[in-house]
Structure 1
């Protein structure tokens, strides 16, 4: 390599260090930009000669080195729809292209970003600080099923009322129930006035209601069951009050031996009357327990109460789901039923009160009626080589041949609601790189001045 080549090499060094200081400058400028990924600089040597005995250091080439895989700090915000990605991946977004006749128009190209400072615009669409509109799946609040794929819209709509169809109930029934009459009669069993109002293994007749004149007998020889508020299709609340009555005890000395205890569940048919003066309706199933307190019937874990009617309001068929192990009969000193789970799936109408983003990317809405339902699912994409994406202004990234095709699923990443991801720029590190770059740039200028002196000395020899 001659003196002129040394000058060219130092020029390439100046260009490379200028490129590096440009990246450092941009990183520092964007140290507070939400979701920004810093751009580092890598240097590649270009050998001037490559013979085995004549290796000569040549020029240098500076290239950008993306840091899309390096996580920025996740910080809490005060906006419920702000979200940050903890792990790998990107939000899928589109850009607005204009407005025509009061309708917004959007580009067809999907872009990707880590900037998650999304908030609703005037139309309810989620847009971040760079003007990107979040994509995903919108869901029907009433059914929880996806309705459309595209821009996510959070509308202040009314959640329609939903009729109750299922009651989830688990409990323990006492092996020896303490009823109003058990202390005086010494019996914890209910003996109905009309045998057909109860279900026993020996029952053969048509099931009937407990008449109002036998209601006191039922109430005094049973224990309180669950009381739950169910809803009609219009959202009207209906209080369902129940009682558990034990009809048979285990008796291994009898002939034939009685190996299971038997319970029946009743609900109050008329809430306008007192419990001891109201008709009561059998739930329509026999509950049997073995000596270990395990449920032996029904075996499916669910019963259906046909045409559940309270005070003239027909709720229709109601499924009571207690699971195969949800009902037990263990000894209990209080002698009363212990409810472990009691929920139902109906509700009255409500308006949207607040939203929250879950770790799996669901946007849930909380309504004034207390219901929490899914509104949307956030669009999310991963890439085999995230650093192969093409960066653009405002934190956008585009798919390339180097990045590979987008992959679905979080795959270990999580979405953090009410938070944003900060820039991954470390100011202290950038200052350190700035000092090194400055020194390298100055050294290259010294090479140029030294080469110039050597050329002058050579010209002086000729003179």
Structure 2
């Protein structure tokens, strides 16, 4: 082969280095592209000639090919956009491209693609689309069980409709009542019990009622008796509940101790709530919920169900309905307290008003979460992640997406990586490294041009021999 072989080898070298230069150029151009995976260049020698032992072999030409870096993660960068997300570890988002529009609604290609570009934002149709125009896919969450409802990912559509109000039917109430309540009357030198004019003897008729002859609070407290009642009772906190239309109803509660342990019967308390703040004269202003008893160990003995029923709860004309006041197991106690006040450790309820969609975010569990103006949240979708046995063999398409090939294998549901909200994965291109490659490529290209020049001169000398 001689001089012509050297010339061919140099030309292949020029072609290979130009190929490498193109990859370097593309990597640098995409150094700021979200989720971009650089392409490195691999060189492979081709045997130039000669067989057998080492002395007869010749260095040959070279070919260049691209080497994917799909498995090399870029840096995760902080973002202030709630719907931006990144994959920390291995895995790909499942997306689809938009094919067009029919009757003002988007239609899609039906061809699943895979990407790590996570700059998703909500479009006018309530779908999450990234900067390259690909739509995110996931599986819906059952609102009751909180489990994934489907098995096949679909394009996620966020429902922006108002969530209806939920009426309160249970109040969680836990805390401690003081052994000696420091009422205004007690501080003035009187008794710590409810004023005798506001009490009555228990009949013991109800299953959870106090024993016959024991003193309990009257069923209602009139407006005329309110000052006396307030002076001989202590605050039991207040809570806002909701009726069926979502109207907030403020429930104020007070505890009145009605019977002191006499050695044969336990301490007894009566719980009241403000039922009509506008009542006047003999009108009922406070209504009794029920009575509670506490043993010498400070634990509640009655009601035995650890709960009270607020039947047809109505406050200032707003009807809520039947509400269960749930004290929990041994969660309402009577122990000595230096301040003589009720210390409520838990006071929650299960109702809420109607709410408008306020925002969308990504949870640590990789789920799409909707936030509403009423303070509620709902998990809407689980964002699909897939992996591949041969991810380096995925076919690149525009916009940082990949397509399945026979060499990559089919997508495998689930991945080792996890989704991180308000983050974006940067390009894995290292500018300093690319410039280092550029220097080497430029030198190799220049050296190959010298081989071409030298081969040309040698051929010219051979031609001149016959002149």
Aligned to 2:441: 437
Retained in 2: the 8 A contact 1:246–1:262?
yes
Q: How many residues align?
A: 453
Give the Cα separation in 2 of the matches to 1:84 and 1:403. Answer: 22
Instruction: Give the SS at the match of 1:124.
Output: coil
Instruction: Give the SS at the match of 1:185.
Output: coil
Aligned to 1:103: 105
Give the Cα separation in 1 of the matches to 2:440 and 2:252. Answer: 79
Instruction: Give the SS at the match of 1:62.
Output: strand
Range with greater deviation from structure 2 (344-353 or 24-33): 344-353
1:360-382 CA deviation, whole Å, 9 max, x = no partner?
Answer: 333434433x3232263252313
Gaps of 5+ in 1: none
Retained in 2: the 8 A contact 1:289–1:328?
no
- How many Å apart are 1:182 and its aligned residue? 2.9
Classify 1:425/1:302 alpha carbon distance in 2 versus 1 (closer, same or farther; 3 Å): farther
| Residue among 345, 356, 361 paired with 1:340 | 345
Instruction: Give the SS at the match of 1:158.
Output: coil
Aligned to 1:24: 24
| Residue among 243, 249, 252 paired with 1:232 | 243
Retained in 2: the 8 A contact 1:211–1:280?
yes
Classify 1:60/1:271 alpha carbon distance in 2 versus 1 (closer, same or farther; 3 Å): farther
Aligned to 2:190: 185
Matched, 1:90 2:83: no
Instruction: Give the SS at the match of 2:365.
Output: coil
Retained in 2: the 8 A contact 1:360–1:410?
no
Give the Cα separation in 1 of the matches to 2:341 and 2:276. Answer: 24
Retained in 1: the 8 A contact 2:174–2:327?
yes
- How many Å apart are 1:437 and its aligned residue? 1.1
Give the Cα separation in 1 of the matches to 2:32 and 2:249. Answer: 55
Range with greater deviation from structure 2 (59-68 or 133-142): 133-142
Give the Cα separation in 1 of the matches to 2:392 and 2:79. Answer: 28
Classify 1:186/1:279 alpha carbon distance in 2 versus 1 (closer, same or farther; 3 Å): closer
Range with greater deviation from structure 2 (183-192 or 62-71): 183-192
Instruction: Report the TM-score when normalising by structure 2.
Output: 0.79
Classify 1:363/1:190 alpha carbon distance in 2 versus 1 (closer, same or farther; 3 Å): farther
Give the Cα separation in 2 of the matches to 1:235 and 1:142. Answer: 20
Instruction: Give the SS at the match of 1:432.
Output: helix
Retained in 1: the 8 A contact 2:148–2:382?
no
Aligned to 2:274: 268
1:34-92 CA deviation, whole Å, 9 max, x = no partner?
Answer: 22221122334455678675676544443322222333334445544333334333222
Give the Cα separation in 1 of the matches to 2:285 and 2:8. Answer: 104
Range with greater deviation from structure 2 (372-381 or 260-269): 260-269
Aligned to 1:446: 450
Aligned to 2:362: 357
Matched, 1:278 2:285: yes
Matched, 1:395 2:423: no
Instruction: Give the SS at the match of 2:442.
Output: helix
Range with greater deviation from structure 2 (128-137 or 18-27): 128-137
| Residue among 198, 211, 214 paired with 2:220 | 211
- How many Å apart are 1:234 and its aligned residue? 0.9
Instruction: Report the TM-score when normalising by structure 1.
Output: 0.80
Give the Cα separation in 2 of the matches to 1:361 and 1:103. Answer: 27
Retained in 2: the 8 A contact 1:154–1:375?
no
Range with greater deviation from structure 2 (311-320 or 14-23): 311-320
Give the Cα separation in 2 of the matches to 1:321 and 1:64. Answer: 67
Classify 1:358/1:237 alpha carbon distance in 2 versus 1 (closer, same or farther; 3 Å): same
- How many Å apart are 1:396 and its aligned residue? 0.8
- How many Å apart are 1:448 and its aligned residue? 4.0
Matched, 1:132 2:170: no
Instruction: Give the SS at the match of 1:17.
Output: helix
Instruction: Give the SS at the match of 1:178.
Output: coil
Gaps of 5+ in 2: none
- How many Å apart are 1:294 and its aligned residue? 6.1
Give the Cα separation in 1 of the matches to 2:51 and 2:230. Answer: 102
Give the Cα separation in 2 of the matches to 1:119 and 1:249. Answer: 64
Instruction: Give the SS at the match of 2:285.
Output: coil
- How many Å apart are 1:110 and its aligned residue? 1.5
Classify 1:457/1:79 alpha carbon distance in 2 versus 1 (closer, same or farther; 3 Å): same
Classify 1:37/1:336 alpha carbon distance in 2 versus 1 (closer, same or farther; 3 Å): same
Give the Cα separation in 2 of the matches to 1:350 and 1:73. Answer: 38
| Residue among 250, 255, 265 paired with 1:244 | 255
Measured on the aligned residues, the alpha-carbon RMSD in Å equals 4.2
Range with greater deviation from structure 2 (67-76 or 53-62): 53-62
